[in-house]
Amino acid sequence: MRTLLLIIMLIGNILAVPFVNSIHPLVLGMPFFLFWLLIWMIITPLLTWWIYAMDQARE
């Protein structure tokens, strides 16, 4: 499960960037690329915390 979450973060933060690099459509008044980065700035710490919590529960 931990590996899957790390792969999701890798895909969302690095590998998907060339595919979402566009100005249109606008989402909440922001270009889609900026919105994508903002969303992943919120999701990444949450997934990192989840991985940390799983490791602490295992010990």
For residues 25-54, give the mean pLDDT: 93
The count of structural domains within the chain is: 1
From CA 30, how far away is CA 20, in angstroms rounded?
13
pLDDT of residue 58: 86
State yes or no: pLDDT of 40 exceeds 90.
Answer: yes
State yes or no: pLDDT of 54 exceeds 90.
Answer: yes
Percentage of the residues of the chain whose pLDDT score is greater than 90? 71
Q: At 28, is the secondary structure helix, strand, or coil?
A: coil
DSSP 8-state secondary structure symbol assigned to residue 13: I
From CA 52, how far away is CA 46, in angstroms rounded?
10
pTM for the model stands at: 0.78
